[in-house]
Structure 1
Amino acid sequence: MPTDYNAWSWTEGAGLDGLELIRKPLPQPGPGEVLISNTVIALNPVDWKIIEWGHADWHTGRVPGVDGVGVVVAKGEAVTLKVGTRVAYHQSLSRDGSFAEYCLLAAHAALPIPEALDDGVAASLPCPGLTALQALDKVPPAGARDVLVVGAGGAVGSLLAQLAVQRGLRVWATASARHHAQLLAQGVAGVFDYRAANWQGELQSRLGERRLHAVFDTVSAAHAHSLATLLGYNGHLVCIQDRQETAPLPAFSSAISLHEVALNSIHAYGSRSDWQQLQQYAEQLMSQTLSGLLQPAPLLEFDFKQLPEKLLALKNGEQHGKWIARLGAR
């Protein structure tokens, strides 16, 4: 193995413009850690947001990036995972991330990949797929109740809509027109263009006397706040971006429950059983993708050296799909 490696470095206060490709000394795994030689990295909205906003644990020189795929090339004490195992991962924001040739992570965060699953597809799943499943877990089983997925054309929303259909929910969605046909083919009951002024009225007309049991919002806390009146009695407002700091409806009215989704928080607060559940969910996502039961976002490949400009493209919503960079087998 080399003694150093290529990595994208973050500069405090400089945002995306401050990303710099540098050489870093290759770390060695300690107890309970594995060193991954990355073959693919994937971009997520959280990446550009933290790069621009900063993080309490970050300092100049931090390597960003939460999702990647690679091969275990070294392991520390008390690690049962074998060297040579292909894994995907969702890295802690408190560690150097995936935007590099190598990544050091906790062994329990490594998610083994089925042999037949492409590295690029596997890299596209952890952040959006695990977020979608955690969002669904916020809502107790309710049979064929009506739920709304806001932003179902995005990576998280698309997987969430498909997984909700699998759970027997009657799923409604908002998305731009380019996604409507695919969402309907995947079992969504109806799709509305979020740019249409009357889409909420159209949804209520389709629902008739029924009210929504849950709203899954992928846009913002303010946007989720504006949708609270669509929920019925004991409904659930699930925020995948931000959280509700104040109740959106008066007390003792429809008695809705408010939920936040924070996948990365499992690194600081997750118990052993939480990680076991996450491992099971990762296995589900990969096996269903491999069998065709689940259709992730189309892959958009780019050269590793183009990473800052592709993060900017992701921020600006210039293309729809999942940005990945292949680093090659080592």
Structure 2
Amino acid sequence: MEETLPNSARLFRVLFYWRDMMKAWVHHETGTPDVLGLVDRPQPRPARGEVLVRNRAVGLNPVDWKFISWGHAAWKWPHIPGVDGAGEIVELGEGIAHLRLGARVAYHNDLPRPGSFAEYTVIPARAAIPLPDALSFEAAAALPCPGLTAIQAIEKSPLWPGAHVLLTGASGAVGGALLQLARSRGWIVHAVCSAAQSARVLRLGAATVLDYHQDDWREIAAKRAANQPLNAIFDMVSGEHAASLAPLLTANGHLVCIQDRQEKTPLPPFTTTISLHEVGLNAMHAHADDAQWSRLVGAGAAMASDIVSGRFDPQIIDVESFDRLPVALARLEHGPNPGNRVVVL
């Protein structure tokens, strides 16, 4: 049958096929980033409450390589990973009134869904962060996961200008974003990071820096806390690590775990009566309502505007081409990562 079609009809069929196809990085099994393969996949279509984004840049995050290694029970194989991206809306699902075709947006997509490692991605419309025209897609793609996580973390602690806080992992993507947000609120930040990153962390606004490679950094932090009480601790390491720092907090302080949670209270009852907080950005997709998403997206949009005005540093350390995405992801896995890694299409 194909041979009997005129050349124009065959050409139309080819063009129609490629119009509805896209390049995507997929994997059929768990493993390291080299299990990813670049293939042709059908373009997805948005359902009600969703939009289709043509990706111009993709933000890489530790959660990407971790879940490529671990897998997820909700995934359908082959799976397209990636949670962060930025681009233009090219198709609207039903019921979308607050967004328009061609709008420039960034997004954090739900982890179980097909992700951002593709030319096109369907996202929930409520997760679309509007972008100023002057903001590059590279900078925008570095914003969602680190920036929104930092926003969630900082909102756990209702502190005042002049409050003292301790921040571990201050040189990383989330830590650097949180540090900048804390300084914008007038908090005094005592950062913990490697000595190699201390100068950059001080430029971002830290008041003091401790090198976590130094054996006695905890003792130094404890002596300082005895003289200057800490109102909050933001920990990027683990629940166990955060619990070990809890004694440094003053009465009614806040212990915020970003990499883990506290399964049990780390201090005796009726002592400093600290508040325990966990942070989980992806949990917003399943458990947050539209009003919560609206506030989070609004905060993300404000952060995007602050990048343009120079009030917020997106901390981009690596920009790679889309065809080398697994290479960039491997660099992220092995570190160090004093900032964000981005892939451009």
Q: TM-score scaled by structure 1?
A: 0.94
Distance in 2, Cα, partners of 1:96 & 1:21: 14
User: Is 2:105 the partner of 1:87?
Assistant: yes
Matches within 5 A, 1:139-218: 139-218=157-236
* Alpha-carbon offset, residue 208 of structure 1: 4.4
Map 1:267-306 onto structure 2 (within 5 A): 267-306=285-324
Partner of 1:16: 33
What 5-or-longer segments of structure 2 have no aligned partner?
A: 1-17
Kept in 2, the 8 Å contact 1:176–1:193? The answer is yes
Q: Shift in Å at residue 13 of structure 1?
A: 3.5
Whether the 8 Å contact between 1:35 and 1:104 is mirrored in structure 2 is: yes
- Give the one of 35, 48, 51 matched to 2:52: 35
User: Structure 2 CA distance, aligned partners of 1:133 and 1:321?
Assistant: 16
Judge which range, 55-64 or 177-186, deviates more: 177-186
What one-letter code is carried by the residue in structure 2 that aligns with 1:227?
Answer: L
Q: Specify the alignment match of 2:6 in structure 1.
A: none
Counterpart-to-counterpart distance in 2, 1:282 and 1:62:
27
Show the counterpart of 1:238.
256
Root mean square deviation, CA, Å: 1.6
Name the aligned partner's letter for residue 324 of structure 2.
Q
Distance 1:178 1:234, change over 3 A: same
Equivalence for 2:11: none
TM-score by length of 2: 0.90
CA distance in 2, matches of 1:279, 1:321: 22
| C-alpha displacement of 1:319 | 4.9
Gapped regions of structure 1 (runs ≥ 5)? none
Q: What is the CA–CA distance in structure 2 between the aligned matches of 1:185 and 1:18, rounded to whole Å? A: 38
Partner of 1:68: 85
CA distance in 2, matches of 1:248, 1:112: 40
Tell me, yes or no, if the aligned pair for 1:11 and 1:59 is still in contact at 8 Å.
Answer: no
Counterpart secondary structure, 1:305 = helix
Deviation above 4 Å: which 4+ runs of structure 1?
none
Tell me, yes or no, if the aligned pair for 1:72 and 1:86 is still in contact at 8 Å.
yes
Q: Return the offset for 1:284.
A: 1.3
What is the total number of aligned residue pairs between the two structures?
327
Which residue identity is paired with 2:21? D
Which letter does structure 2 place at the counterpart of 1:160? L
- Which of these two proteins has the greater Rg computed from alpha carbons? 2
Distance in 1 (alpha carbons) for counterparts of 2:179 and 2:31: 36
1:246-261 to 2 correspondences below 5 Å: 246-261=264-279
Q: Deviations over 1:126-181 (max 9, x none)?
A: 11111111101111223422101101101110110111111121110011123222
Report the Cα distance in structure 1 between the residues aligned to 2:79 and 2:245, rounded to whole angstroms: 37
Does residue 131 (structure 1) correspond to residue 163 (structure 2)? The answer is no
Partners of 1:62 and 1:219 in 2: CA distance: 29
